[in-house]
Structure 1
Amino acid sequence: MTSLPPRAGRRCHNAVNPLHSTVYFSPDYAQELAGIGVEDTSAAYFAGRAAAIGAVGPGTVAATFYNFNHELIARHLPAVWDIAPPATVLAARMRAVDATLRRLLGDGVASDAMAEAARLALRATEACTRHARPLYAAHADLPVPEEPHLAYWHAATLLREHRGDGHLTALLSAGLDPLEALVSHTATGKGMSPGWIIASRGWRRGDWEAASQRLRERGLLDAEGALTSAGSALRAELEDHTDRLDRAPYEHLGTEGVERLTELAQGFLTTAVAAGAFPSYLRG
C-alpha cells in the first residue's frame, strides 16, 4: 500500500458521495417509486436505501441509518414491502439513477471521463471490507451495472456506505447518540438546516433541544448552540477516526488514482449542482 497525503481519502469521498445522493432528491426517483406504489417520500427513501438488505423491519433500518427516529421508520416498514418487494424497489431506483444522471450531466454520462471515473472508483472498492459494515456489505452483493455512469454510481454507493458504516463506529466510540450526532454536526456549519433535519428524520423540536442540552452538559456546546473548543476537537477526531477506518480503498487506489478520481468526481458534481441537483431548502 502507498501512503496517502493526509485527508486525501476524505476529500475524494466528499467529491464522490454527493453525486450518489442526488438520486434521493430527484423528481425522477419520486416518479419511479410512485410508479411502483410507494408515494410517501419517507417510505421511498427508506425502501430505496434499505432494499439491498432485504425486506427488513424498522429496527434494522434504525440501526444502519442511525439518525432517524424509529417511530418514523415504523410507520413505513415493513409495510412498504407489501407494496413493492426489495427487487422491485432496486430496479426502480436504478431507473431513477439513470434518468437523474442523464438529466444532470447530459453528454457527460457517455464521456471518456465517466468511463475513467467508473474504473477508478470500482478499483477503490476492491479494498472495501464487509465485516461489521452491513449497508456496504448488502450493496456489495448487488451486480455491477454495465453502463459506465451506472457503474460509477454503484461504486460511489459502495464507497459511501463503507465510510458511513465506519462512521457509525466512530460515533458510538465518541458516545454520541443519533440526535447528538446531528446537533453537533449541524453546529460545525457543514450540516443541513436543523428544520429540514428534524422533519426528515422524524424528530421533534423538543428532542433536538434535549440533545443540545446534553451536549452543553458535556461541555461540547455553548449556550448559543455553537461548538466549544472541546466540541470542535471531538468532531475533528470523529472525522479522523472515520478516515482511519475508511483508508483501505483509497490506499489501494494510490495517490495518483485518488487525485484523479477526486478531480473527475468534482467536475461531475459541479455540473450536477449547476443543473439544480439539490434543493435550496436543505440549507434554508
Structure 2
Amino acid sequence: MTTTALEPRAGRRCHNALNSLHATHYFAPELGEELGALGITDPRAVNFAVRSAALGPVGAGTVAATFYNYKYELVARHVPAVWETAAAADVLAARARAVDASLHRLLGAEVLASPEMTEAAHLALHAARACSRSGRPLYAAHADLPVPEQPHLAYWHAATLLREHRGDGHLAVLVGAGLDGLEAVITHTATGRGMAPKWVLTTRGWSRADWEAAADRLRGRGLLDAQGELTERGTALRQEIEAETDRLDLAPYEHLGPDAVARLTALAADFARTALTAGAYPPDLFGKD
C-alpha cells in the first residue's frame, strides 16, 4: 500500500471513467433481450432485477433503500414479483451474457483481447481489494460474486465493485445532507451533470408534481432559485457532498497509488470514449432539459 498522496479528485476522476463504461449495459439492447428471455420485459423491472440480484430475492424496501432515488411505489410494482418470474442467480447469469455481448459490440473483439484490457482489469481489481463492506450493502453483495476469468468481464466486475462502493458511501452523505432521493436528483441535475428531468421522470417513477414539490422544498432551504438553478448555498452543498463522498471512497485509490490511478483512469477513459462513439448512451440522457 502506498503512502504517497493522491491529487485532489483523482479517485473521483478514475471512478467517473470506470463508471462511464460500466453503466452502458443499462442502456444496451442485449440486456433487454437476455432478461426478456427469462420473462422480464418491463425496462424498469429489468433495471431493478439486474442491479439488486446480487442481494438475492429481496423486497421492495431493500431495493428502494439501496437505489435511493426511485419512487417506492414504482419499485413495489415490480419487486418482489420479479423474483417469481426469474431466480436471482439466473438474472445474474443473464446480466453477464448481456455485458459480454454489449462490450463486444461497443469496443470490438480486438480491444477486449488487448493487453490494455488485461492491464486495466488487473489495476481495477487491485483497487477494489481495499474497498470496505461495512455499511455498503450493494458493494458487499457484489463483492461476494466470483471474479470472471475473461479480462473484459473481470474489468467490468471490478468497475461494478468500485461503482457500488462509491455509491453506497454517497447515499450516506446524502442522508447526512438531508436530501431525499428526488431532492438529490434535482440538485444533481441542476449542476448540469445529472440526468435530464425527462429521464428521471421516466425511469425513477416520479411525477412532474413530485418534482415541483421537491423543488419547492429545496427553494425553501435556499438551495434552488426561482428558475430551478442552484443558489450559492446549493452549489456549496453539492460541492461538500462530492468532497465527502471522495473522502469515504479514498481507500481503493490510495491502495492503488497515484501512478497506477492515473494509468487506470487513462485506460478507462479510452474505453469509455470508444463506447460513447459507438452510441452507448441516448443522446439526450444528460443535461438540465
- Normalised by the shorter chain, which TM-score bucket? over 0.9
| Paired amino acid for 1:170 | V
CA contact (8 A) 1:12 1:259 kept: yes
Match in the other structure for 2:120: 117
TM-score, normalized by length of structure 2? 0.97
Q: What is the root-mean-square deviation of aligned Cα atoms in Å? A: 0.7
Match in the other structure for 1:62: 64
Match in the other structure for 1:248: 251
Match in the other structure for 2:6: 4
Deviation for aligned residue 1:6: 0.4
Deviation for aligned residue 1:280: 1.6
Deviation for aligned residue 1:217: 0.6
Deviation for aligned residue 1:281: 3.2
Write the distance in 2 (CA, Å) between the matches of 1:62 and 1:29. Answer: 21
Instruction: Give yes or no for the alignment of 1:39 onto 2:49.
Output: no
1:153-187, Cα deviation, whole Å (9 max, x unpaired): 00000000000000001101111011110110010
TM-score, normalized by length of structure 1? 0.99
Match of 2:143 among 133, 140, 143: 140
Match in the other structure for 1:17: 19
Q: Any gaps of 5 or more consecutive residues in structure 2?
A: none
Write the distance in 2 (CA, Å) between the matches of 1:255 and 1:137. Answer: 25
Write the distance in 2 (CA, Å) between the matches of 1:178 and 1:75. Answer: 18
1:88-144, Cα deviation, whole Å (9 max, x unpaired): 000000000000001000011110000000000000001000010000000000000
Sequence identity percentage: 65
User: Any idea what SS the aligned residue of 1:145 has?
Assistant: coil
Instruction: Give yes or no for the alignment of 1:167 onto 2:170.
Output: yes
User: Any idea what SS the aligned residue of 2:176 has?
Assistant: helix
Alignment of 1:1-284 (within 5 A): 1-106=3-108, 107-283=110-286
Write the distance in 2 (CA, Å) between the matches of 1:2 and 1:203. Answer: 45
| Paired amino acid for 2:142 | H
Write the distance in 1 (CA, Å) between the matches of 2:54 and 2:216. Answer: 37
Write the distance in 1 (CA, Å) between the matches of 2:170 and 2:268. Answer: 22
Write the distance in 1 (CA, Å) between the matches of 2:99 and 2:226. Answer: 43
CA contact (8 A) 1:2 1:252 kept: no
Deviation for aligned residue 1:279: 1.1
Q: Any gaps of 5 or more consecutive residues in structure 1?
A: none
Write the distance in 1 (CA, Å) between the matches of 2:184 and 2:5. Answer: 30
CA contact (8 A) 1:23 1:97 kept: yes
User: Any idea what SS the aligned residue of 1:280 has?
Assistant: coil
Deviation for aligned residue 1:2: 2.5
Write the distance in 2 (CA, Å) between the matches of 1:69 and 1:78. Answer: 15
Deviation for aligned residue 1:3: 1.0
| Paired amino acid for 1:30 | G
CA contact (8 A) 1:170 1:238 kept: yes
Count of matched residue pairs: 284
- Runs of 4+ deviating beyond 3 Å: none
Write the distance in 2 (CA, Å) between the matches of 1:170 and 1:79. Answer: 31
Write the distance in 1 (CA, Å) between the matches of 2:185 and 2:106. Answer: 29
Write the distance in 1 (CA, Å) between the matches of 2:141 and 2:185. Answer: 25
| Paired amino acid for 1:116 | E
| Paired amino acid for 2:191 | T
CA contact (8 A) 1:114 1:152 kept: yes
| Paired amino acid for 1:71 | E
Write the distance in 1 (CA, Å) between the matches of 2:87 and 2:149. Answer: 24
1:203-247, Cα deviation, whole Å (9 max, x unpaired): 110010011001101111000100000000000000000000000
